[in-house]
Amino acid sequence: MTTPTPSAGLSLAAVAPIVETRILVDTVQTYRPGPPVLDPASGEYVPGPDTITYEGAGAVFGAGGPGLVLSLEGQAYADDTRNRYRLLTPLSAPLATRDDRVRVTTASQDPGLLGRVWRALDISDANSLTVVRTTWLDEATPTAGA
């Protein structure tokens, strides 16, 4: 019987291509909403163009059902999220920043992902031992079909 050596194990670098082709099966886009710009025709401010920070392979997963958050009446609550999700992207994708937006532009399995928008709750996770980048999200889509 031989004792396995540390180099005999499967490295995380070897797992990454498998994860990227088997799990990151959708096309996602992370972006920052543009600042308002003045519409000269109406004289009103309208949303400016989005700044796309990443477009490529990814996957969005629900992280449990709606939660219950209790707060004191009249008190602000920073991240009162009820619809928590996780965005998985390759390690080569840039880190998302708090309040970046995420949308799925191509859904390989579930068409229910299309047309929905999520908000990044914080900067993407970074770890010493990881295969994909994880970003925690809160759904920002107000209603189905919006």
Written as six digits, the tokens of 103 are: 């949308």
Residues of the chain with pLDDT under 50: none
Q: Which domain holds residue 52?
A: 11-33+46-65+82-139
In this predicted structure, what is the pLDDT of residue 102? 96
As for how many domains the chain has, the answer is 1
Beta strand ranges found along the chain (DSSP E): 26-39, 44-62, 84-90, 101-106, 117-120, 132-139
Q: At 123, which CATH number?
A: 2.40.10.270
Quote the pLDDT of residue 40: 93
